[in-house]
Structure 1
Amino acid sequence: MARIKAPRLLAIFSTGIAAFAMTLTGMGPATALATPTEASSSGVVNYVNLGDSYSAGFGSGSLAAGPLPGCLQGSGPTHVSKIAAMENVDLAINAACAGLTTTEIAGVTSVLAPQLAAADLTTLTLGANDLDIRGLVLACSTMGSDATCEQALAIGASLIPAIGASARQTLQLLDSATAGKVLVLGYPRLFTTSNGDQPLITAARARDLNDLGDLLNEAIRTAAEETSAKFVPVLGPFNNHGLGAGDPWIYFNLANLADPFNLHPTTTGYLEGYYPAVRNHIHLNQLVR
């Protein structure tokens, strides 16, 4: 999620997209990615990863530069690295970047047309930055007020239909760009509320935020169902592993509330939460075209 609000982000990202597009255009035969025909004949599954910070591995490892200027990823193990390590899987590109909205992910999708045309499998998360989860959590924490939280929750709920529509447009663009399998991964509930209030948030407000997260997941699921993409929920694997649980799989640094990894899965969350969920939907022998 880690939505970066600085006005320069969009300009940096747009410049990065243009520069990256020029790089792709200049690829020679030795560096060009396999065409769908080549992928099929080689038996290799071409894999592309897109999306926001949950796909970029924020919360695992340390900050690392992605393939675009201004693109940040986590350097540690995630479901993406686990999929890429599977036999006969080639990670053609990991273009997930922290902070991307559904519209910005559509921009990446347009630029990566050659890679997506050759892709047998694409994974992504999208939608949380359109909602600004970090801002909602701050508004509903003990540092906020009831009035601020109620207003933020109302605004968040009002945004859900537009987020779903934008996600659908992005997934339709992705659908037209690839004939391969597209897996849209959902988001976990950030909080486990059964243990009562937490230092920075009450159990009641944590439930309110979880409910809004459920609405976001449902909107993304509906958007995916209107394309050939498959929605993959992760609520089950993350059950009882949110903030406030005895064994949380969500990262939060109480000593640094501005830590960009806050509110993202830990390495365990990616490997034990996301990876098993998505692995159940990957059948390599059916992916190669």
Structure 2
Amino acid sequence: MGARRAVVAALAVIGLFLGGTAAWADEAPLRYVNLGDSYSSGAGIQPAVATAPPQCSQSQLNWAHDIARVKRYQLVDVSCSGADTSDFRASQSPGVAPQLNALTADTKLVTLTIGGNDNSVFTSSIQKCATAAATTAGQGNPCQRAYGDSFVDTINSSNYPNIVKALKDVRAKAPNARVAISGYLTILPATQGCYPIMPIAAGDVPYLNGIQAALNNAVKRAAQQTGATYLDVTAISQGHDACQSPFKRWVEPIVPINAAPVHPNFVGEGVMAKNALDVLGLGIGIGL
């Protein structure tokens, strides 16, 4: 059984076990809103949602769609690739409404990933470290030597309060909803990496892991501060990073070039869905 098929089968079994109970109890489907960035939208994963703005790269196989299929929820998905916290309150681009507009008092569940694009921390750290690695043919830690604590400092001083504000705004617009924010799946192995598939110098792999850990910790702290549920995916995604084989990884590498490098594939999105169901107590524990 393929990895994605195993995830889908697990989610289907959850639905069967819940049939006739929570999944079917409400007279009207529960209103569920998915917000956030490309990790939420499932950027690059086909098939795309035909009714979503093309620039949002929203997939029918993102974690929200997986959850909605299992639970028979009424999904309103406004996640959009490239979104940062400011796009909750203002239009991200022509034809893309502020994400908070999707929330109402009758919204019962909100899921999201957000924060990685604030101050371009996510893309900037990857791009700058890749550029630095090219100068040393993947050896040493040129990125750490060039940028030091700057990324982590930015996350703590700016990204973190931005996420707190975003979650408070979500709560204000959807006061009756459970709000769950996920961390970001592990991108690199603990050491060494896989240059040039992921063009990061060997000594900079722990450095980038530290930046990602700081970002996930900022998301976790913001959830705690605002009463949201933090969906921790760090431990479960160990060993499924972008350096693994195509049948094992949950995050895609930069080489070979694909639609959304350094982003979850459809298996990773399915794992995020299952983790959310488990943490929120909406499913049953099934090993993948």
> Normalized against structure 2, the TM-score is what?
0.74
Whole-Å separation in 2 of the counterparts to 1:132 and 1:196: 20
SS of 2:33's equivalent in the other structure is strand
Change beyond 3 A, Cα 1:144–1:268: farther
Identity rate, percent: 22
Contact 1:47 1:120 in 2 (8 A): yes
Contact 2:58 2:80 in 1 (8 A): no
Residues 18-29 of structure 1 aligned to structure 2 (within 5 Å): none
Alignment length, in residue pairs? 239
Change beyond 3 A, Cα 1:172–1:217: same
The corresponding residue for 1:27 is: none
For each residue in 1:118-176, what CA deviation from the matched residue of structure 2 results, as whole angstroms up to 9, or x when unmatched?
21101000011014322211211222565555444532112112110011011001111
Contact 2:33 2:109 in 1 (8 A): yes
Contact 1:79 1:275 in 2 (8 A): yes
The corresponding residue for 2:188 is: 191
Whole-Å separation in 1 of the counterparts to 2:26 and 2:60: 32
Per-residue deviation, 1:278: 0.6
The corresponding residue for 1:213 is: 212
The corresponding residue for 1:168 is: 164
The corresponding residue for 1:278 is: 276
Residues 251-262 of structure 1 aligned to structure 2 (within 5 Å): 251-256=252-257, 259-262=258-261
Unpaired runs of 5+ residues, structure 2, are 1-24, 91-97, 284-288
Residues 49-128 of structure 1 aligned to structure 2 (within 5 Å): 49-61=34-46, 67-68=52-53, 71-91=55-75, 93-107=76-90, 108-112=98-102, 115-128=103-116
Per-residue deviation, 1:78: 2.4
Whole-Å separation in 2 of the counterparts to 1:263 and 1:109: 24
Question: Does 2:131 match 1:135?
Answer: no
Whole-Å separation in 2 of the counterparts to 1:206 and 1:62: 32
Unpaired runs of 5+ residues, structure 1, are 1-39
Contact 1:136 1:152 in 2 (8 A): no
The corresponding residue for 2:250 is: 249
> Which stretch of structure 1 is more off in the superposition, 149-158 or 121-130?
149-158
The corresponding residue for 1:29 is: none
> Normalized against structure 1, the TM-score is what?
0.74
For each residue in 1:3-29, what CA deviation from the matched residue of structure 2 results, as whole angstroms up to 9, or x when unmatched?
xxxxxxxxxxxxxxxxxxxxxxxxxxx
Task: Please report the RMSD computed on the Cα atoms of aligned residues, expressed in angstroms.
Answer: 2.5
Whole-Å separation in 2 of the counterparts to 1:153 and 1:98: 28
